[in-house]
């Protein structure tokens, strides 16, 4: 087994500015795309494992995060812009093509890069958030019908400055509560109310667990995440949510379109993303016909590649080495 090369940080030019990435190893390119509210650092357990297994593992900071460009315009965070960034990174790395793996918001970014740029994406891995093709009503209209008297979190994030006013006075504390609230060992149980709904006049953080970190998150890890957002602010990250209706319009030509490359899906049984979107998983024979491997990890929450790093690494490498993917 090859010894992994040291981690290297790079900035690459894209049509939207620059993307910061972290690279380790040599071999077939596997590109990791994080979600909200995270960074390349969310893949810290995967980079050395895949490098040791003979892959070129690269994790990027999505636009609006970390050292990547953060355009001022809200509409600069459309899905089409993220696809363009991901494609530009693959091309800048000179690999010709890549396997793209995404978590949370990174999952639909990975899926849509595969859908729109099949010339560049040979296989796609989706973590926590299932692929669901464009369709149905306008997203914000659908979200407005959820929660009764309470407001669904995506709707709460829509107005620029509103969520920032909650988060930015105490970035570290807010992140700690959000991570804990969606982790298997610290998420609320029973009647505490859903973390995804905001009561009238309340805040999202009002239902976060207080004073506890999940087992996968050390104080030093939290410092890394908090340090990035304390420097950049939260607007770039939140602007992804503020484009769901624009995405719905932009992607109309691909309404109902399947992603056909060899695929992997990993989710946690305690993750609301996999329970709310159960029908999307059940539709995979139609929407993800190249699905090679699908695993729901029992007792796992949302931060799957950090909560279950060794298990996820094994499943990723097994999938990459499968005959269908054919790169291992």
Question: Which pLDDT tens digit goes with each residue over 272-324?
Answer: 999 899 999 999 999 999 999 999 999 999 999 999 999 999 999 999 999 99
Q: How many domains does the chain have?
A: 1
At 281, give phi and psi (nearest 5°): -65, -40
Q: Tell me, what's the pLDDT at 191?
A: 44
**Band (192; pLDDT cuts 50, 70, 90):** very low
Hey, which residues are catalytic here? Answer: 104, 302
Do 61 and 37 meet the contact criterion of CB atoms below 8 Å apart?
A: no
Q: Is residue 43 part of a domain?
A: yes
Query: How many other CB atoms are found less than 10 A from the CB of residue 28?
Result: 21
0.85 cut: is pTM over it?
Answer: yes
Q: How confident is the model over 205-240, as pLDDT tens digits?
A: 999 998 899 999 999 999 999 999 999 999 999 999
**Predicted local confidence at residue 4, as pLDDT:** 58
Q: What is the pLDDT of residue 305?
A: 98
In a domain, 328, yes or no: no
- Report whether 59 contacts 66 (CB < 8 A): no
Examine the pLDDT at 193 and tell me if it is beyond 70. no
CATH of the domain at 84: 3.40.50.1820
Res. 165: pLDDT tops 70: yes
Residue 2: inside a domain: no
Residue ranges making up the domain that contains 156:
8-320
In a domain, 325, yes or no: no
Comparing CA positions, the residue from 149, 154, 106, 151 lying closest to residue 126 is: 106
N- to C-terminal Cα separation, the chain: 12
The backbone torsions φ and ψ at residue 126, rounded to the nearest 5 degrees and listed phi first, read -120, 125
């Amino acid at each position: 087994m090859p010894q992994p090369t040291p981690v290297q940080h790079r900035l690459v030019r894209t049509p939207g500015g620059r993307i910061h990435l972290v690279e380790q190893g040599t071999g077939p390119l596997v590109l990791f795309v994080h979600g909200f509210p995270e960074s390349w650092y969310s893949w810290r357990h995967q980079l050395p494992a895949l490098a040791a297994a003979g892959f070129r593992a690269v994790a990027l900071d999505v636009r609006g995060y970390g050292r990547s460009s953060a355009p001022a315009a809200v509409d600069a965070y459309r899905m089409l812009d993220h696809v363009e960034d991901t494609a530009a990174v693959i091309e800048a790395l000179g690999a010709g093509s890549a396997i793209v793996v995404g978590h949370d918001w990174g999952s639909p970014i990975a899926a849509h890069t595969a859908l729109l740029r099949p010339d560049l994406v040979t296989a796609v891995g989706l973590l926590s958030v299932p692929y669901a093709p464009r369709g149905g009503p306008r997203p914000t209209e659908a979200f407005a019908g959820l929660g009764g008297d309470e407001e669904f979190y995506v709707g709460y994030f829509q107005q620029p400055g509103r969520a920032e006013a909650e988060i930015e006075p105490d970035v570290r504390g807010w992140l700690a509560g959000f991570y804990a609230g969606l982790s298997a060992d610290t998420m609320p149980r029973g009647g505490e109310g859903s973390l995804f709904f905001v009561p009238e006049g309340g805040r999202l953080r009002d239902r976060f667990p207080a004073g506890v970190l999940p087992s996968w998150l050390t104080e030093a890890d939290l410092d890394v995440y908090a340090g990035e957002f304390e420097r950049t602010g939260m607007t770039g990250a939140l602007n992804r949510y503020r484009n769901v209706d624009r995405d719905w319009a932009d992607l109309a030509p691909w309404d109902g379109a399947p992603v056909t490359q060899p695929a992997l899906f990993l989710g946690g049984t305690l993750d609301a993303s996999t329970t709310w979107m159960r029908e999307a998983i059940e539709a995979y024979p139609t929407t993800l016909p190249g699905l090679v491997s699908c695993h729901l990890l029992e007792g796992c929450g949302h931060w799957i590649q950090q909560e279950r790093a060794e298990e996820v690494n094994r499943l990723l490498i097994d999938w990459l080495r499968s005959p269908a993917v054919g790169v291992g």
